Amino acid sequence: MLITALVATVISIAAGAAIRAWAFAIFAFLVAIGFGSVAFADGSSVIVGTLSGVAILALMEIAYLAGAFLSGLLRRSARLRENNSVADSVATTTTERPQG
């Protein structure tokens, strides 16, 4: 179960950087249903299977939000670095021109 949770977390973080929220919500819901069904098929009660599915769903949603936040943060810092480098090169070329 720990390995499954780790794999779901890594996939969710990667999905946070790549796909839309509604698409991930559908995917996570299907995975949670599957995970709960497997837990039920292994001999657990319906309540334990349902709680297991809800737990994996919550873990996946939290990991997705973390991935989306980190992806946005990295994109923003890259954009700021790009804008600063362009501004620096323009500022140096304008000061070197003779005026008049």
Is residue 91 domain-shared with residue 49, that is, in the same domain?
yes
Tell me, yes or no, whether 12 lies in a domain. yes
Number of domains composing the chain: 2
Tell me, yes or no, whether 10 lies in a domain. yes
Question: 89: domain range?
Answer: 45-95
DSSP structural state of residue 10: H
Tell me, yes or no, whether 54 lies in a domain. yes
Whether the Cβ atoms of residue 12 and residue 57 lie closer than 8 Å to each other: no
d(CA 47, CA 62): 22
Whether the Cβ atoms of residue 28 and residue 57 lie closer than 8 Å to each other: yes
Q: What is the pLDDT of residue 17?
A: 84
Is residue 25 domain-shared with residue 4, that is, in the same domain?
yes
Is residue 54 domain-shared with residue 31, that is, in the same domain?
no
d(CA 61, CA 30): 13
pTM of the full structure: 0.72
Is residue 79 domain-shared with residue 65, that is, in the same domain?
yes
Is residue 4 domain-shared with residue 36, that is, in the same domain?
yes
pLDDT in tens, 1-41: 788 888 888 989 888 888 888 899 899 999 889 888 888 88
